[in-house]
Structure 1
């Protein structure tokens, strides 16, 4: 039976995805539960929403405080997106994290040197993006909490040793895909909204081949490109690192929006980062929620027909747009 999701439910779901803290997520989930059509086609989705609400309430009330040690299955999200580095032992994940961020992981020649999740901040131009180095994943052994981090990531960088043969690399990718699917996680080229997504989590994926300094990896790239887009890198001679930064930004499906005051130059130092498809009103809401009720009109530089055009609140923004908010 089709879900026939309402506009109010879809709006609440977008609010849930944009929420940064537990309180906002809980409010959005309760809106989702209130607005979802009640019939057989949405039974599983309703149950999943109720489960998430219960879990967030438990976390908010501190009922899980009896757990000892650090919380390994959650890393506080920072920047424009949370990107996990996933791969088999000795694939070069930690070396990539060290080359791209300010983090200092343990880099060793022996397998399983990464035992805890380690975050670091990478910059693409003026946008900070969080990278999280995860312990290795293989059929032989994987940490149970690792799957939760992958499930909640905005992007997965499947990191592989480019010195291996193409067939071995393809087999490794298929093995990891199967391991994730056992935990209801599906790696995809680009995330699409589906009725199934409340049960199976789609996570966009890019393959990153390390050891790009060792020679031509064209045959490996050709073999793996049928699965996911491939980026060749080397932390040693820094091959492909700029391409990887750009590839991550593009894969996150976000845009940068800058603001300006009337009669003043635009603030081009620190943009607001919104999902692709965001409107002018979404940007106003991100600048300050209270501005929505006081909004008089918006001018846009970039995606308008001309610079400084007054646009409706439903105007779709593009990357690097500048907005000028006028309030009553």
Structure 2
């Protein structure tokens, strides 16, 4: 099945053309049993494995190879694209023992055809349709290019008569139009340049970097030589855009199991995760943070305090 329930700290899709090393990569990262062969399109169905990283498990999915016109042809093309859309982040694996540009062109064109965009900036506007109340525009940040009337006109042109438009920063009419396109998926992605131990790979890596280093972080690895794998694990975690928080109860130790939340999460999000009583009876929370090995800071904070990775939190009600 291509509908895979998310588990662990996040779901990462491994995407690439045939024989790029997808199966070898998921095997070395998760130790999952998967078929590795030299003939094309070995993987016909998703292969799922869990990658240990520090005190977390991250779900990796090896998907069947990208092929031309997969969004319109028969077969499993649309199912593959749907699984990619559902992922929290993407690894684009490229074989740099051969020319990387045709591989990248194929991958990106197929994703674009399915309205999957990679590493685009987060839109500064959120539009929520409502049942009544007209169009309400809330300016949360700086001055914007589009005036309120322009925004209302854009929505009315698309037969949207009731909505809340929240704007957090400078935005243009193009941002408004993109925000109205609910089919667009914007997903974090990294490029993994595989087979970096083979002849010609250095020149091909330079070519890849020349064309794509502004949009993507590019990580050179060799699965067969076990080179660059530890660094890759670290970058996979970073591109999930999550943080870990550890709860502490009075008279007890710190929970060894982290609560995983999106970056930008606040104390209120932890309270909701743990129990409603922490929200209902909230007085304050104490945060213990260790910015360096030799430094520990403690502070009393409110419900809207923004958290960082590895914060320890104790609630007082």
TM-score band by shorter chain is: 0.7 to 0.9
CA spacing shift, 1:244–1:90, aligned 2, 3 Å: same
2:196 to 207, 212, 217: 212
Q: What is the CA deviation profile of residues 262-317 of structure 1, one whole-angstrom value per residue up to 9, with x for unaligned ones?
A: 243322x3211111110011112122344322323211011899733210010000
| 2:185 paired with 1:201 | yes
In the TM superposition, residue 188 of structure 1 has moved relative to its aligned partner by 2.0
2:85 to 131, 151, 161: 151
Query: Is the contact between residue 190 and residue 204 of structure 1 (CA under 8 Å) also seen in structure 2?
Result: no
**Equivalent residue, structure 2, for 1:33:** none
| 2:225 paired with 1:237 | yes
| 2:243 paired with 1:255 | yes
In the TM superposition, residue 152 of structure 1 has moved relative to its aligned partner by 1.1
Query: Which structure is richer in relative contact order (CA contacts within 8 A, separation 6 or more)?
Result: 2
**Equivalent residue, structure 2, for 1:87:** 16
CA spacing shift, 1:104–1:287, aligned 2, 3 Å: same
**Equivalent residue, structure 2, for 1:320:** 310
**Equivalent residue, structure 2, for 1:172:** 103
Larger Rg: 2
The aligned runs of 1:1-328 (5 Å cut-off) are 71-72=1-2, 74-139=3-68, 143-165=77-99, 169-188=100-119, 191-192=122-123, 195-196=179-180, 198-214=182-198, 217=202, 218-223=205-210, 224-267=212-255, 269-302=256-289, 307-327=297-317
Q: Which structure features the higher share of helix residues? A: 1
Q: For 1:161 and 1:201, locate their aligned partners in 2 and report how far apart those are by CA, in whole Å.
A: 26
For the residue of structure 1 that corresponds to 2:186, the secondary structure is strand
Q: For 2:121 and 2:52, locate their aligned partners in 1 and report how far apart those are by CA, in whole Å.
A: 22
List alignment gaps of at least 5 residues for structure 2: 71-75, 126-178
TM normalised by structure 2 equals: 0.73
Q: For 1:290 and 1:159, locate their aligned partners in 2 and report how far apart those are by CA, in whole Å.
A: 46
Query: Is the contact between residue 101 and residue 208 of structure 2 (CA under 8 Å) also seen in structure 1?
Result: no
TM normalised by structure 1 equals: 0.71
For the residue of structure 1 that corresponds to 2:283, the secondary structure is strand
Runs of 4+ off more than 6 Å: 303-306
Q: For 2:312 and 2:213, locate their aligned partners in 1 and report how far apart those are by CA, in whole Å.
A: 36
Q: Which structure features the higher share of strand residues? A: 2
CA spacing shift, 1:189–1:230, aligned 2, 3 Å: farther
Aligned-residue RMSD, C-alpha = 2.3
